[in-house]
Amino acid sequence: MTLLTTITNDSINDNLKKRFDNAEIYTYIGFVLISVNPFRLLPIYTDEVLRSYRGKNRLEMPPHVYAIAESAYYKMTSYQENQCVIISGESGAGKTEAAKKIMEYIAAVAGDKGSGIDEIKQMVLATNPLLESFGCAKTLRNNNSSRHGKYLEIEFNDAGEPVGAMITNYLLEKGRVVGQIENERNFHIFYQFTKAASPAQREAFGIQEPSAYTYTSKANCLDVPGIDDVADWAETLQAMRIIGLSDAEQNDIFRCLAMVLWLGNAQFKENAEGNAEIRDTSVPEFLGYLLEVDPSQVVAALTNKTVETQRGGRRGSIYDSPLNVPQAGAARDALAKAIYNNLFEWIVERVNQSMAARQQANYIIGVLDIYGFEIFQDNSFEQLCINYVNEKLQQIFIELTLKAEQEEYVREQIKWTPIDFFNNKVVCDLIEEKRPPGVFAALNDACATAHADPRAADTSFVQRLGALSSNKHFESRGEKFIVKHYAGDVTYNVSGMTDKNKDTLNQDLWALIGASKNTFFQNLFPDRPDPSSKKRPPTAGDKIKQSANALVEKLMRSQPSYIRTIKPNQNRSPSEYDTKAILHQIKYLGLQENIRVRRAGFAYRNTFDQMVQRFYLLSPATSYAGDYIWTGDSKSGCQKILNDCGIAKDEWQMGVTKAFIRSPETLFALETMRDRYWHNMAARIQRAWRNYWRYKNEAAARIQRAWRKTRTGDDFLKLRDYGHTVLGGRKERRRFSLLGMRRYLGDYLDVGGKSAFGETLHSAAGISGAETVAFSSRAEILTSKFGRSSKLTPRFVVVTDKAVYILITQLVQGSPQTSCDRKIPLVTISSVGLSNLKDDWMVINVKNSEEADPVLVVPFKTEMVVHLLQRTGGSIQIAIGPTLDYQKKKGKREQIHVSKDQMGGEDGVYKSHKLAISSGQPPSSVSKPMPKRKPGIVRPITQGKLLRPGGPSKPRPAARPVPKAQPLPSGGVSSIPKAPPAVNGGAAKSAAVPRAPPAPKAAAIVPKAPPAPSTSAATRAAAPPTRAPAPPPPPPPPAQPDVPMYKATFKFETTEDGELALQKDDLVEVVQKDDTGWWLVKKGNKEGWAPSNYLQLVEKPKPKPAAPPAPAPASVRKTPVATPTPSSVRADANAAPVSVFGTAQPGGLQAILAAKRAAADQNGESNGGSAAGSRPSSSLANKPAPAPKPKPAIPSKAGVGAPPPKPKPGGGVGQMDLAAALQKRQAQMNQ
C-alpha cells in the first residue's frame, strides 16, 4: 500500500475494499502486514501454500501471514536476534487465527525430524485447542473471542530447532463465568463438557445438559453456528494427552468444572428473617461431595459472613453475620470465579512444565494473541483493563515505528522529512500513573478507604476521578466517565468497578477452601491471605498493570513484526463491507501515518559493524576466500561494500553509527547476492572436487593401462602366441586377428564381472559360484527346421572351467528374456573342428550326445579354442581341414564343405552344407609387433576453470599473494574457520603482537687506527673530543642466498604460450635448464621459456675486503679496490655436457662461449635455428617439434652484432657452441 498515489484514509479504504472483494485479505505497509478478516474459509492455508513460502523473502511471494512467520524465523536464524510477532486489532478481526497460522508455519519449517523436536512441535500446536476451550467464548462480535491474553514464546537452539516453549497468561475475563449478556456464551469448555461428557464422567460429577445450569443457560445461547462442541471436546482431550496431562489430572480438572457449574445452581431465597437461604438443599450436598467437605460448611460459607471488630488496633469480638440474597449471590459468584481463574492459571503452568526446554535455548520467537479493543454499550472494569493493554501495545508500535524511527534519523543525521502522528503515551499515563494519580490509582484509593461497602467505594471512586477532569483525554459524567482512547472514545460505568478491583474472597470462603480434603483443589490456591498481615493485597488493577509492563519489557527485548487486523463488519458476513467501521479502524490504527513514514523513511538500518559482518563477502576489497581482509574502519568498509554491489546512491545513506537502506527490495537483493555467493562457492568446490576425481580416475586408468601393457598384457600376449601354435600354420588368418594390439582378454561380455548385462547372462546361464568364467562372446549357431534350409541365429557363448554355455534371447509376452539354450560339460567334448580357410565357423563335437553337435560362428574362435584347451589340459583334439564334420542328429553325421571363392566376401556365404569365403592371410602369418604410441601432446587430464593445465609446455604462472585475514568487527568471526595458531612464532601470534621496526643496516666497520708515535699541538687540537665508547651496533640482516642472474644479450620476441618475451639487458633468474637449449626463466612474477644462447651469466664481483689501517687519522685515503679472483665453479647436474673439457682457459665455459659469440658476431654466422621449433617437448608427449623451414641468411649491419642463432631441435646448446669454439681455437693456433 506504500505505492498508493494518494495517501488518505479514503484511498486506503478503497484499496482494502477491492482486495476484500477479490478475496485478497493480506497486504503490506512496509514490514507491517494488514489483514482483513474474510469470515470464510479461503484455500490459502494448504500444505502446498505453506511450503511455497519456505526460504523465500517477503517480496518474492504474495502478502501472507506465512511470509511474516518466515521472515521472523529467518531473521532469528540469520541475525541471531529474538523475534516477536505482535497481532493487534479489535475483537473479531482475526487475531487468534493469525496466531494459530504463525505457530503452524513455524512448527512445519523449524528444525528436522526428531523425537524431541516433534514432541515440542506437537505440544505447541496442542496449546491452541486447549487454551481456546478454556479461554475463548462466543460474544456478540466474535464466535471465538479470546477472553484472555496469551504470549507464547517458542525457544530455539543454535540450529534453529524448537527445544521448548512458554506461555504467559494475561487477565482472564473471569466475570464471564458467572454472567453474560444476551446471546453470548460462557467459556467453550462448559458447553463441550456438558454436551460430550462420557457416562462415567456424568455419573461421577453429576453432569447434565448445558440447559440445566444457570451459568451456561442464563444468556439463552447454547449453540453457535459453525461450532461443533462435541468435536471440539474430542480435540481438547487429545490436546490434554499431547501436553502430558494424566488421567488423574484430567479428572481433577473436570471435578473443578463441575464445582463451578453446580455453584451456579445454588440459588437463594429470603427466609422469615429476610436473610438468604439455599432453595434446593441437594445442591450444597452435591457441592460438598465435589469439594470433599461437609455440606453444612458449604451452606455456612455461602449464607454467612464472619465479622471481626477492632478497637484501637486491637482485635475485638468475632461474630457471624447472615447475608442477604444479593450478598449471598455475590459470595457464590466470587468463589466460582476464583475456582475457574485459578484452574486456568494451573493449566497454563502445567503446560509450561511440559514444554520446558529440553536443552539450552538461545533464541525465541514470541507470538502475542491478546484481546482486542472493545467498545460495548455497557463497559466496566474488564473493558478498562482490556483497552489499557491495547493502549500499551499501540504505544510500542508508535515507539518502534514512528517516534523512535524519526528520533533515530535526527540522531544519525539522516536527511528526513518529519511526519506528524498522535502519541498515545498521554492516554497510558492517564490510566496507569501514580502521580498525578491515574484511573487505577484512584480506584485503589477508593477500595482502601471504603472497602466494606461496595456502593460507598464506588462513590469515593467517582469523587477521586474529579481530579482528572483537567486532562483533555478524560471526561467525568456522574456515575460514568469517558476515556478518549486511540481507537475511540469509550464510556465506562463506575458501578461495581471497585468490587471487581478488590479481587478477594471473604474469610468464610477461604475457610471452606482450607477445609477441603481434595489435594488438587487445595493446590489451586497457593497464595492465601494472612489475617494478621496489615499489608494491602494487590488489586486486579495492580496485577494487570504489572503484567502489561512486563509484557512491554519482553516485547522490547525482541525484534518485532506487526500484523494489524481489520474487521470488515459486525455481522460476521463474508460479503458485507462496512465502510464507516473500517474507516474508523484505519484511523485509530494509524495506517495513513504508517504509510507516510514508510515512504519517507528507510526500511532497514544496522550498525556498520553488523553490516560489514553480514555482507563483507559481497566485495572483493573486503573478502578473499571467505576471509575478512578489510584493514580500514567499519564505516569505510560498509561504504565500499555498498558501492561495489552497484546499489544506487539514493537507496542508502551513511549515518553516524549506522547504514540506512531505503527499500526492502535493496536489502533482499543484498541477501540474494550473499546467498548466491555461498552457492557459487559450493559450486566451485564441487567443480574442483569433480575435477580432482576426474584427474584421479584418469591417472588411475593410465597407470592401469601402463601396468597391463607391461605386466598383465604379457599374459594376454602369451595366450595369443599359444593360439598361433595351436593352429600350427594350418588355417588362413583374418587380418584383424593379426594386429599387434590384439590380446586374448577372454570375458568380453563381463559375465564374470559386475556389470548389469554380465550379471544378467550369469544368472540366465545358471553358473554356480564355484565356476570361473574364462571366455564369453557373441556368436551365431546353425539351426535347422523341418522342410527348410538351415540358417544362423544369434546366441551368447560362455566358457567356464566346467562347461560351455550357449544362451539364447527370446521375446516372451513382448519382453526379451535370456535363458540357457544348452550346457555342454567340458569332459564331454571330444574335439573341435575348424576349416583351413579364414572363416569363423567351428564345430564342437560332443561324445555320446543325444543332441546335435553345435555348429557355431564365433568371431574369437581361436581364443575360444585356446581357453578350451587350457581348461581341459589339452585333451580336446583340434581338427582343421576343408570340411567340418558334425553330428546333425543321433546316428547321422553331416559335413560342411568350405571352399575359397572371392565372391563369398569376408563373412562367407552358406548354402546347403557349403560355405564359400574369400581368401585370407597366409596360414603361416603371425601377429604384428606391438605398435608404438604416436608421439605428440597427450590430451590434458584436467579441465575446467579452476584447474590450470600443467606440464613444461605451459608453466603455471605465479599465484597472486594471498591477502592477510583480518578479525571481523564486533568480535565476529569470518565465515571460514581459521587454522589453529602456530606453536612457535605463528601468524596468529605475529598478528596479535605489534611487530618491531626493522633494525637499521650496519655501516662498514673500519678498524680504529693506532695512535701516531708523536703528534704536534696542532694535530692534538684538531683531534675530536674524547667520548665514551659507543655500544656495539645491531647485527646485520642475514645474507640473502646467492642466486645467479642472467642477462638477455639480445631481444627475444615471441607470441607462443609458455614462452617469455625478453628485452635486451633484461635480468632473469634461471629456474630450470633443459638439454634442448631452452631454459625456464623467471622475470619478476612471470615465468616462461627462453633460448639459452640469448642469455649470459652476470658475474657478481667479490665483496670488497676491509680497508687497511690508516697511517694517520688526519689523512683520508681511498681504499684500493682489490681485483676479483675467479671463483670456483660448482658442478651442475642440469648443465650441458661441456664440463668434460675442463676449465684450463681463464674464464672457463663462459669464456669459451663468449669467444664463440664474438666470432659469430664478426663473421655473421647464422644457422637459421628456430626458437619455437626447439622448445622442450611436454613431459606428456615424445613427439619432437617439426624442423623449421630454411630461411635465407640475413647479413648483420656494420657495427651491430647479430643475435645468435636459436638452438635447433635435437641438439644441446652446450654441444653446438663447444664445437664452434674448438674449431675457432684450432684456427687461431694454426695461425
Euclidean distance between CA atoms 1171 and 1054, whole angstroms: 9
145 in catalytic set? yes
Strands, sheet with 914-917, edge to edge from the N-terminal-most edge strand: 883-889, 892-900, 914-917, 909-911
412 in catalytic set? no
Render 279-348 in DSSP notation, one character per residue: S-THHHHHHHHHHTS-HHHHHHHHHEEEEEEEETTEEEEEEEEE--HHHHHHHHHHHHHHHHHHHHHHHH
3-state class (DSSP) for residue 485:
strand
Look up residue 100 and give its three cell numbers.
Answer: 494459530
Euclidean distance between CA atoms 260 and 244, whole angstroms: 24
Q: Which of 91, 127, 569, 1170 is catalytic?
A: 91
**Long-range contacts at 664-669 (CB < 8 A, ≥ 24 apart):** 664/30, 664/31, 664/58, 664/59, 664/603, 664/604, 665/59, 666/603, 666/604, 667/603, 667/604, 668/57, 668/58, 668/59, 668/60, 669/645
Could you tell me which residues come within 8 angstroms of residue 1034 by beta carbon, excluding any fewer than 6 positions away? 999, 1000, 1002
* Contact between 524 and 342 (Cβ < 8 Å): yes
Q: Which of 127, 128, 142, 516 is catalytic?
A: 142
Strands, sheet with 604-607, edge to edge from the N-terminal-most edge strand: 604-607, 658-661, 652-654
Euclidean distance between CA atoms 1142 and 1099, whole angstroms: 19
* Partners of 659 in the β-ladder: 606, 654
Which residue in 823, 767, 800 sits closest to 872, CA to CA?
Answer: 800
Chain centroid to Cα 628, Å, comes to: 20
3-state class (DSSP) for residue 873:
coil
746 in catalytic set? no
Euclidean distance between CA atoms 722 and 556, whole angstroms: 92
* Partners of 1067 in the β-ladder: 1047
Burial classification of residue 783, based on how many CB atoms lie within 10 Å of its CB (0-12 exposed, 13-18 middle, 19 or more buried): middle
Which residue in 284, 273, 288 sits closest to 323, CA to CA?
Answer: 273
Chain centroid to Cα 1064, Å, comes to: 57
3-state class (DSSP) for residue 931:
coil
Q: Which of 277, 374, 382, 412 is catalytic?
A: 374
92 in catalytic set? yes
Q: Which of 30, 366, 372, 833 is catalytic?
A: 372
1195: left (phi over 0), alpha (psi -120 to 50) or beta: beta
Q: Which of 146, 342, 498, 547 is catalytic?
A: 146
Angle subtended at Cα 195 by Cα 190 and Cα 201, rounded to the nearest 5 degrees: 85
Euclidean distance between CA atoms 1073 and 1081, whole angstroms: 9
Euclidean distance between CA atoms 456 and 447, whole angstroms: 9
142 in catalytic set? yes
- Identity at 36, one-letter amino acid code: V
C-alpha distance from residue 228 to each of 137, 143, 183, 574 (Å): 13, 12, 17, 20
* Partners of 1045 in the β-ladder: 1069
Q: Which of 145, 265, 387, 975 is catalytic?
A: 145
Euclidean distance between CA atoms 196 and 238, whole angstroms: 14
Task: Give the position of cell 464466535.
Answer: 143
96 in catalytic set? yes
Euclidean distance between CA atoms 561 and 545, whole angstroms: 24
Neighbours of 429 (CB within 10 A): 14
Euclidean distance between CA atoms 542 and 540, whole angstroms: 5
Q: Which of 92, 149, 1169, 1214 is catalytic?
A: 92
Helix residue spans in 728-789 (DSSP H) = 756-765
Task: Give the position of cell 574442483.
Answer: 688
Look up residue 48 and give its three cell numbers.
Answer: 502446498
Render 941-958 in DSSP notation, one character per residue: S--SSSS---STTSPPPP
Active site (catalytic) residues? 91-92, 96, 142, 145-146, 372, 374
